Structure formats: structure tokens, C-alpha cells
Chains A and B, each alone.
Chain A
Amino acid sequence: MSTPSAEPVPLPAKRRLAQLAMLAFAVAIVMLAYANVGLALDNQVPAGMLTYGLGLGGLMLAAYLVLAKFAPWADPLILPLVTLINGLGLVIIYRLEAAGMDGASATNQLLWTAVGVVMFSVTLIVLRDHRALQRLTYTAGAVGLALLISPLLPFIGQEINGARIWIGIGGFTLQPAEFTKLALVVFFAGYLVAKRDVLALAGRRLLFIDLPRARDLGPVLITWGLSLGVLILQKDLGSSLLIFGTFIAMLYIATQRTSWVLIGILLFVGGAVLAGLIFDHVAARFEVFLDPENPALYDREFGGSFQLMQGLFGMGQGGVLGTGLGQGHPNLIPLSFSDFIFTAAGEELGLTGLMALLMVYALLVERGLRTSIAAREPFSKLLAGGLSFILAWQVFIIVGGVTNLIPLTGLVTPFMSQGGSALLANWILIALLVRMSDTARKPPPQAIQDEGMTQVFQR
């Protein structure tokens, strides 16, 4: 073994100042967008702009300070990217509220953003070492399961818009599926790290793929059953697809076995066909996906293509440059403040805006995956990889759905759609990524002196 070199290892830059500048830039874009909405709607800068701007700016400054103190080595890009998406979501919701759309409330969303930032900070402060989560593998699994079935329980479970995915506590309604996804990713990461050798190595080769042993199929089948259960009992296609897809991706990352992906796809297709045969609402979604412009489907009262087409009309109206904030009619699209917020952005910000927005999402995912690659031990790699993938997967499912790339399944557009549960859960997700990127980027301890074969590690 060689002795460590006497020269100090170059440290990765913290780039805290760059992060602050980018954060200020993101807040500035959002404030300008606010002003734009006001000027377009009634020729004046909205009275609340300073409140909103200072509110958002203050929140992000607080998040920044917490991050600088408790995760100084964290990736500098993550927080500004999230700020930009969250802020644009706020502006669009504000714009829809100004147009008199029922249900859109920018004030509520700002309050939830504040709570989200608090959760972000608390997570960073309390969770000094994310590897503590590994010890909670089965607890997380149990919590995830409990959250998943909670909407089915009497008294607290509520059915809204035909999907039983809400629970009501006090005056609030929560969508536990959003928290479920976090708990389950933690569970999958812990579980797969423990079992990955067996899942990866045992089995026999058939033709050109390695088939796993039958008994190792257990966890996959259980997850599959779980997501089918969600689909059947809660009529929540989106969450079902989200959970199953993420599990398959994590299984692949953990085992490096392509056969798992193939098995997963087969199970998914089987499940989807089965569901399509059994449930009218699943079949209807597929029918609408194939021919949304069909007048018969457009005029159908339930499960028709009216909403989808309204979203597409909005996007068409926006064209390349968009109508400009406050100058389109995104309020004509049903639920344009939640599931369909992406099409509302498409109408007013145009193709240009949507490309930028997708790029911001892609960058965020890319920073998460980079964290995963830079991480030093399997649990962190799997957790960061899983969290990043679920973010990308969720964007793909909902954005692909509202743009008719894939059949539409209701999901929240991360950080944009109005809704407290999703904001909270996603801010926690970001806190976890930030925590892991801090650990990953923190330079290894430097030898204080030439200690020969002995080194002191910090934990």
C-alpha cells in the first residue's frame, strides 16, 4: 500500500454564493411573472405582488440558510430549480384564481409552500444522517402500507371526484398516497440493499436472460398485488402506476438484472389488460387516449375526452410563444390548477415555456441521479436513485397523460399542482436528496499528518 500523498486533495467547491444568486434569479423570474399577470389582467402591478414576492423570497432565504448551515456541501442547483417550479406553479394558480376559477387558491398554495419549506428544514435539521432511515426499513414499509389503505377506512376516508384517495382530519383533507410514495421508496431501498445479492445472483439462465428463482419473485408479486389493489379499491390509476414502476426501476438498479424489468413490464401489461377488461373507467381512459377528438367521446358525460381536449386546445392556442400570462383562457380547462396545470402553462407560456419547464424538471432529476452516482454506499445510491426516478416517472405519467402521449391517469404535477399533501411530500423528498448530496459531496477526511496505515474517519 502506498502512503497517502502529502498534497491536499482538491476540495469540491461548495458554491454557496452561486446558489444564492440562482435562488435570487428564480425568485425574480417568479415576481416578474406575477407582475406580468397583473399587467395583463387589469393594467397594474398586482397589489399583493410584494407580499407574494417577499413571502416566497423570505421562505427561500430561510431554506437556503438552513441548507447552508446543515448541509453545506449539498448540490447548489437543487433548491433554485425547485423554487422556480414551485413559484411558477403559484403564479399560474394565482392567475387562475384571478380569472374566477372555483377551487384555485394561491393563498392556500403559498401557505402550503411555507409549510413545505418548514418540513424541508425540519428534515434537514433532524435527519443529520440519512442512513438512519435504513434502520427503519420495515417501519417505513408498514407506514407506507397503512397510509396507502387509510383512504379506505371508514370515517376518515373520503371520495372526491370518483377516486377514493383522500383522508379528512379535522377540516383538512390529505392525499396520503403522496407520503406513501416516500415511505415505500425508503422501504424498497432498505429491503433491496439487504436482499439484492440473492435477487441478483440466484436463478438460472433461459435463452438469453437470467430468470430469478420462483421464491424470489415474492416481493415483486406482492408489490404488483399492492398496486393492483390501489387501482381496484381506490380507482387511482396514477399512484398504482407510479409505485409499481418505481419499484421495478429500483429493483433493476439494485440487481442489474434486465429480467426484472421484463418481468415487471409483463406483469404491468397483464394487470393493465385485466383492469381494462374488468373496469369500465380503465377501458374508458384507454379509449379516450386512442381517439380523443371523437365527438362521441368528447360529449360523453363521464369518462369522456372533454377535459383532455380542452387541455390540448389550450396548448394549441398557446402555440410556440404562448398567449402570455393572463392573456389566455386556461380557466376553460377543468382542473387546470391541479392535474392539468401543465396545459395551463402551455397555453400562456407556449412551447417555449414548456420546453424550459421540462428542462428544469430534467435538470432536477439529473442532479438527483448524479447524487446517487456520487453516493458512497448502496443504501444511499438506491434511495437517491429511487427518489430521483420517482420524480421523473411522476412527471412523465402526468405530463404524458395531459398531452395524450400515454393514457391519462390522474397524478399531481410535482411542485406545480395545487395541493398541500403533494407539496409537503415533495419538499421532504428534496430535503432527502439535499441531505444525501451533502454527504456524497463532503470531502473525505484529510489526513492531519502522515499517519501511515492508520486513518481516522468521521461519521
Chain B
Amino acid sequence: MNGPLKRAALACLLMFGLLMINVNYLQAVRAEDLRADSRNTRNFYAQYEVERGRITAGDKVLAESVDTGDTKFRFQRRYPEGKIYAPITGFFAPESQRDIERTENRLLNGTSADLLIRRSIDLFTAKRSKGANVDLTINPRAQEAAYKALGASGKKGAVVAIEPKTGAILAMVSIPTYDPNPLSKPNKATVNEAYKKLDKDEDKPLVNRAIERTYPPGSTFKVVTMAAYLESDDSIGPETQVDAPQVLDLPNTTADLPNYGGAACGVGRVTLSFALEKSCNTPFGKIAMELGYDALKDQAAKFGIGGEPLSIPLPVAGSGIGPEEDLAALAQASIGQRSNQMTPLQMALIAAGIANNGVVMKPYLVNKIADAEGGEIETADPEELSTAMSEDNARKLQEMMINVVNKGTASAAQIPGVTVGGKTGTAETSRGQAPHAWFISFAPAEDPKVAVALIVESGSAGDDASGGHTAAPIAKSVMEAVLGR
């Protein structure tokens, strides 16, 4: 009987061989697919097993994971500062993340390849691996000042503050906002319900108005038209005289371009500085028609408009001056109307570029990423985005913007003892609502520490002066917070 017994033994061996091959196939070859399958709820539970890294700004903790001791969902996300920072931190929902929680997800949850060394050390020292901590460039004083000041207006809007020399984003506020805490609970059903409610809200609290929405920039865009004009000829300066008719006839149309309310601007011929101070429309329309569409578009591109979409690392919506049409359209675009659409962040970049003597720095939000033991993984390295204008021309433009604050429409932005430059704006909206109030500014002019852009939706009674009245004080409080006043 030994013959068949040996063959039976061979059959047994074959069976075990097949099992082993199959197990290898499943756990070595197909493992990745099985792990990634959306029906594999282990991924969902795994999110709550790691102590996710903190998100901080200065000494403030914006997001942290708390050990709840729960067996299923041990570490849960908490946002101590809630609404104020929500457009930046985003939230950590069971099936999705948003904003910094999303873009830095693999570092925060510790799975990034950059954390490989840390994980290996943890493996051998039997420590539970933690995610990396993300430190933001946000200045909490500026952020809170901006939130408070914009909130006090009772309107919707957005504020962005940038450090001109580096591009570091010091504040980014969007109102209305939302509380990320209820969206970051492990219960899918309640989170989805809360999310749906926010998503349906007509005021769109989930939209970060500072980077995800574009608005017509209104008169604040005149600084770009001005920059193009200065760059076109070195002899042009603040005292250069330009035509300032009461109404500018637009060629090939029946329409005209008036100054606001049809008012006169000076005595028909004014200095460039005066035109900016009083925010006259006609001189800029005329300048733009002289320069042509391409010159204006090139200048805009030098400020980063219409280029590759920015990632700070949150994705920023594209801005643009609109397509080339006729001269009438160009004249309107030159004063920030027509199809001219800018994000508040883009306007802050323009102000920062002018303040930084023409050099536009690439904006960024993440200052430093460090592993749980404090070991550095990544530190921000400021990069130039582009050179918008020569240093001389930038200084001329700074001078004129300082005049706007000191003698013009933006007197509400004055800070005693600090040279502030700025430009107000009023953007007509098509829907018969009150126009948006804009303001861009920088300070101190000699050694710029902060550049601000902000919009108050429907925040203007109609003219630039009233827009300045609403918007400029908000910028002032943000600048004061950054300058420590």
C-alpha cells in the first residue's frame, strides 16, 4: 500500500502548495487592491487610530487630535479656534478632507514617504507613530483682527494679508465661515447631514472667498494700469500731466466712460498722482486705450494674473483681465470692470509686489512641517513669482499710493507714525445690488511688513470714498495687528 500512500502524500503536498501560492497571491500581489477597495472599512477606522499631527499658527493650536479612549474611534479631531481659521484648516470628515487637512493629509497622518525614517525609528522603539505637525505662516493676531473687523461690518467678504518680502500669508479670512468641529466627527451620517446643510446655505459658508471666488476688482485695479503706464516710459512720474475729461468717449459705441457720478476730475488735466488719489476713471481709460490690450495684459501677467493657477498649497482660482475685445472694453477693464475678475489673494499679491519694489513673491501658507519629535521635515523657502516692474517705477507707484492714503479716498487707513500706501475700489455688480467695496494697502512703505487686500461684498454706498470708509479701517486694524500696534 505504500505506493498509493506516497501518491496520496504527494496530493496532500499539492493541496498545501496550492493554498500557499494562493495566499501569496492574495497578500503580496493583490494586497494593494484589496486595501484600497472602498468597501474595505478598515481604511475608515485606520484614520482614527493614528494621532494626527497638529496644525498650528504661531502659539495657537488650530487643529489637534484628542485621545478619546474610544475603542473604535480613538483619536478625534478638534478645532479649538473653530470658525476663524476654518477656511484655512478645512476639516477632517470620515470620507474626505478639505484645505490644509487635505493638502497635507499624508504628512498629518504620517503615511508620507518623508516620514519613513521617523516611522522606522518608531517601529524599533515600539512607539506608536504620530503624524507630522504643520505650522502655518498665519499670524494669529492679524487673523483675529481681520475676522473681528470684517465681522463687525456685518457683511460678507474676505481679507488676505501677505508679508511682501517673502510671500508668507499672514491672514486669510472669509466670511461667512463654518465650524469645522461638527464636520470632523466619525459618524458619517451626521457629518453628511451637517455638510449638506452648509452646502445648501445661500451664503455659501463653505466657499473660501479669499481664493475660491473672483470679483471685479474695481478701482483697485487702476494700480495695475498705472504700473503698465509707468513701465512704458521711464520719464513718466507722479507729476506727469494726463488728460482727465469729465466723460471719456468710447470709440465705436454709444456708451461713454464717466467718472463716478459724472463728476469732474480736477480741471481737465491732472497729475497722475491726483488721478489715483481721487480715483478718476477717465485718465485710466485713456491710458489703457493708448497702451493697448497687450500691454495691459502683459503687466497683469507680471503680477501673476492669468498665469498657472497658484497652489498655496490650497488651490487658488484663476484671475484674469478678460478677453481682448474692443477699445471700449479695454477702457472698462483698465478700471477693474467688464470681464476683469480677481481673487482677493491676487489683489494682495499686487499690493505686496508694489511694496516689495516690484518683486512679487510666491504666496504660501505652510511655514514648517516637523515630525512628532520636532525633527524638521520641510521649511518654507520663499520664492520669487515674477518681477512686475522696475524698482524705480515701483517707488513711484508707492509714492502715489501713499498719497491716496494721506490726501485721497483712503484717509481711514492712516496709522499715526507709519507710512501707509493704499488704493480703494468700488466694483459695480450686475445684479443691481450695492457695489462691492475693495481696499488694497501696504505698510510701512520704507520697509514693508504687510500688504493687505480685502473685499466687503455690497459694502459700498456707491463711490470710492464710501468704499474706503467701509473697507480701509478693516485693513488698518490688520496692519496694526501685524505691526504690533
Question: Does A associate with B in a complex?
Answer: yes
Interface SS of chain A: helix
Q: Which of B18-26, B167-175, B436-444 forms part of the interface with chain A?
A: B18-26
A312 to B30 Cα, complex, angstroms: 10
Query: Does chain A have a CB within 8 A of B417?
Result: no
Quick one: given A313-B39, A316-B34, A317-B40, are A253 and B8 in contact (CB under 8 Å)? yes
A287 on the interface (CB 8 Å rule)? no
Question: A404–B27 Cα gap in the complex (Å)?
Answer: 13
A362 to B22, CA, bound (A): 15
Name the A residues within 8 Å of B31 (CB-CB): 315-320
Q: Give B36-53 as 1s and 0s: 1 = Cβ < 8 Å from A's Cβ atoms.
A: 010111100100000000
Contact A362 B1 (CB under 8 A): no
**Is A378's CB within 8 Å of the partner chain B?**
yes
Structural contact, A381 and B34, CB atoms closer than 8 A: no
Known pairs A313-B40, A332-B42, A354-B27; A378 contacts B19 (CB<8 A): no
Is A316 a contact partner of B40 (Cβ separation < 8 A)?
yes
Segment 90-119 of A: residues with Cβ below 8 Å from B: 99-100
Question: Which chain A residues border B1 with CB–CB below 8 Å?
Answer: 253-254, 256, 378, 381-382, 385
Interface residue total, chain B, C-beta cutoff 8 A: 36
Residue B483 at the chain A interface, CB threshold 8 Å: no
Q: A317–B42 contact, CB under 8 A?
A: yes
Chain B residues with CB under 8 A of A255: 4
Near B by CB (< 8 A), chain A positions 326-366 give: 328-329, 332, 346, 350-351, 354-355, 358, 361-362, 365-366
Report yes or no: A388 in contact with B27, Cβ–Cβ below 8 A.
no
Instruction: A332 to B26: give the CA distance in the assembly, Å.
Output: 18
Does A316 lie within 8 Å of B27, measured CB to CB? yes
Nearest chain A residue, comparing its CB with the CB of B43? A317
B38 to chain A, nearest CB (A): 10
Q: Which of B203-237 contact A (CB under 8 A)?
A: none
Interface of chain B, helix or strand or loop or mixed? helix
Of the listed stretches B9-17, B245-253, B340-348, name the one at the interface; the rest are far from the partner chain. Answer: B9-17
A92 to chain B, nearest CB (A): 16
Which residues of B are found within 8 Å of A18, using beta-carbon distances?
Answer: none
Separation of A403 and B42 alpha carbons in the complex (Å):
18
Task: List 28 A–B pairs whose Cβ atoms lie within 8 Å, in order of A's numbering.
Answer: A99-B71, A252-B4, A253-B1, A256-B1, A256-B4, A293-B37, A312-B26, A313-B34, A313-B42, A316-B27, A316-B32, A316-B35, A317-B31, A317-B34, A320-B27, A332-B41, A346-B26, A351-B27, A355-B20, A362-B13, A369-B8, A381-B2, A381-B5, A385-B1, A392-B15, A396-B18, A400-B15, A400-B18
Which A residues contact B (CB, under 8 angstroms)? Answer: 99-100, 249, 252-256, 293, 298, 309, 312-320, 328-329, 332, 346, 350-351, 354-355, 358, 361-362, 365-366, 369, 372-373, 378, 381-382, 385, 388-389, 392-393, 395-396, 399-400, 403-405
With A355-B23, A400-B15 known, 12 other A-B pairs at CB within 8 A are: A249-B8, A253-B1, A255-B4, A313-B34, A313-B39, A319-B31, A329-B45, A358-B16, A362-B12, A362-B16, A373-B5, A392-B15
* Residue positions of B touching A, CB distance < 8 A: 1-9, 11-13, 15-16, 18-20, 22-24, 26-28, 30-35, 37, 39-42, 45, 71
